[in-house]
């Protein structure tokens, strides 16, 4: 586990590794969204693809602002992520992107089994939660205080 004091400089490229991994995964997932939209040109597939985009955009915003908070020596307030072992940049990226991928698989299952509306609503809701967390992080990073 990485432990540093608030005045200690960022040594190493942990933030850059986590951010590069997150961006690479988001790029791969965006290609799958585009491919899904091209396979099925009907309106239901289009709104589902947009909802997947909202899910991954919100996840990307949340992850980017969380990693930015780490660079600013802020403390994570989410108890599920705060005490992860190992490099916190990489482990946080893995947890956040992994949960988004699992949510995407779950909504794809819902859509394939006759519940496309529930799948779309779930993607938009989960994406909205991540967007809220990202905006919350941005506001708290710019404010004074040790946590975000």
pLDDT at 86: 86
d(CA 85, CA 65): 20
> 126-130: which pairs have CB atoms within 8 A and are 24 or more residues apart?
126/55, 126/58, 126/100, 127/51, 127/54, 127/55, 127/56, 127/57, 127/58, 127/59, 128/54, 128/58, 129/58, 130/55, 130/58, 130/59, 130/61, 130/62, 130/100
The closest of 44, 55, 75 to 141, measured between CA atoms, is 75
Neighbouring CB atoms inside 10 A of 40's CB total: 12
pLDDT at 16: 58
pLDDT at 29: 62
Could you tell me which residues are beta bridge partners of residue 75?
147
Residue spans of the chain under pLDDT 70:
1-45, 144-148
pLDDT at 12: 45
pLDDT at 22: 61
Contact predicate 29/127, CB 8 Å: no
Domain locations in the chain as residue ranges:
14-23+41-142
SS3 of residue 41 by DSSP:
coil
Backbone angles phi, psi at 85, to 5 degrees: -75, 160
Contact predicate 93/17, CB 8 Å: no
Neighbouring CB atoms inside 10 A of 51's CB total: 23
Q: What is the pLDDT of residues 42-75, one digit of tens each?
A: 656 689 989 999 999 999 999 999 999 988 888 8
């Amino acid at each position: 586990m990485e432990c540093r004091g608030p005045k200690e400089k960022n040594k190493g490229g942990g933030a850059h590794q986590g951010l590069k991994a997150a961006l690479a995964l988001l790029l791969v997932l965006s290609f799958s969204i585009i491919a899904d939209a091209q396979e099925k040109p009907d309106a239901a597939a289009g709104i589902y693809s947009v909802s997947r985009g909202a899910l991954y955009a919100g996840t990307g915003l949340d992850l980017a602002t969380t990693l930015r908070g780490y660079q600013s020596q802020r403390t994570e307030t989410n108890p599920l992520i705060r005490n992860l072992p190992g490099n916190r940049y990489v482990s946080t990226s893995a947890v956040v992107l992994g949960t988004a991928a699992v949510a995407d698989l779950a909504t794809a299952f819902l859509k394939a089994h006759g519940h496309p509306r529930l799948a779309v609503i779930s993607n938009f809701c989960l994406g909205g939660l991540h967007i809220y967390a990202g905006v919350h992080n941005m506001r708290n990073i710019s404010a004074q205080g040790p946590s975000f």
